[in-house]
Structures are given as structure tokens and as C-alpha cells.
Amino acid sequence: MTAVMIGYARTSTTDQKAGLDAQLRDLQAAGCTKIFKEQLSSVANNRPELERALEFVREGDVLVVTKLDRLARSVADLVAITATLKEKGVELRILTMNLDTATPTGKLMLNLLGSIAEFERELMLERQREGIAKAKAEGKYKGRAPTARAKGDDVKRLKAEGLTADAIAEKLGIGRASVFRILRAAA
């Protein structure tokens, strides 16, 4: 029986269309017959399409991703995902690394690379925090502009027109919690 190749693609934001398109192209070229895709940060508490992919795969299948960081956000996350795959009898293939967990070497490399990736991310975040602190001290850093508050009048107007919080959030491109925060402050 030939293994069924199932792809998973993810970008951190909806602005990264080219990155998602490149992942989809590579997954199709690798022979994936079904691809799950999403555009949200890996730090999000849930990744619904990854959860669907993990539920979808069956024994003998291969879950394929282009890069390790598209799949897992930490070593603990990677361990949990690979444990789920192992329990289901599913192998993992990471294209850019030519890594395949069907081999003992692939399993070893996956654990080592996961540790290194988490270490690199921690270093990057530390440098980012240091840079922000320095910029703040020099008065150059103001943080991101609050996008939802600028739309406060629109939120109140749409609520007065009878729209639900979900509809307002979708229409204005802001979070549902922001809608409630604005409406609470206006009350």
C-alpha cells in the first residue's frame, strides 16, 4: 500500500500570501493529495487546520510540511505532535530538511533540530525585547497604533444599527474582544 501524503501549510499572518502560495506549491510537488492550510500565528492557542490534519491522517500516511517552524512552536509542541503521529502510525516529512521520521536518523534529527529551533527563537525574542527597551529609552518606540480604538465611532454606529459583535468585528477587521471593550467604555 502506498503512503498517502497529507500536507500542512501555515503562515503567521494573512499578509504572507506569497509564503503560503510557495508552501502550497512545494507540498503539491511533493505529492500531497490533501493539504490543510491556515494563516495565523503559531502562538495562537489553537490551530484548527493543524488539529483537522492530525485527526484526518490515518495509519500509513505521511504528514508533510515545508519547514519545521510551520508545524511546531516549541520542542514541547513538536514532541506532542510527533507523539500523536506515532500513536496513529503516521510518519512526518519536512521538505526543506529532507527529513523523514520513517528512519531512525530522521527521528534523531527531528529532536535535535526542534531543540535548536526553539533556542534560536528564544534568542531572537530576547534580542527583540532588548531592542524595544533601547528604543523606548531613547524615546523612539511608541508600540503599534491601536487600530480598534480608532474605529470606536464605527463600532458604536454599527451596534446602533443592530449588528452583532461578531458582524461588527468582521466588517471592521478588528477582534470581537475589541468590539466589546469599545462598547463597554461607551456605556
pLDDT tens across 15-32, in order?
A: 677 889 999 999 999 999
pLDDT score, position 1:
59
pLDDT score, position 27:
97
User: Could you report the per-residue pLDDT of 30-88, keeping only the tens digit for each?
Assistant: 999 999 999 886 566 689 999 999 999 999 999 999 998 899 877 778 888 988 999 99
Of the candidates 156, 178, 27, 172, the one whose C-alpha atom is nearest the C-alpha of residue 93 is 27
% of the chain surpassing 90 pLDDT: 42
| Catalytic residue ranges | 12
Cα angle, residue 170 at apex, residues 56 and 12 outer, rounded to 5°: 50
Contact 27, 7 (CB under 8 A): yes
Among 3-7, 88-92, 100-104, 128-132, the range scoring the smallest mean pLDDT is 100-104
Using left for φ > 0, alpha for ψ between -120 and 50, and beta otherwise, residue 139 falls in: left
pLDDT score, position 139:
87
pLDDT score, position 18:
82
Other CB atoms closer than 10 Å to residue 8's CB: what's the count? Answer: 28
* Structural domains for the chain: 5-118 (3.40.50.1390), 149-186 (1.10.10)
Look at strands 99-100 and 91-94 and give their pairing: antiparallel
Position 146 pLDDT exceeds 80:
no
> pTM of whole model > 0.95?
no
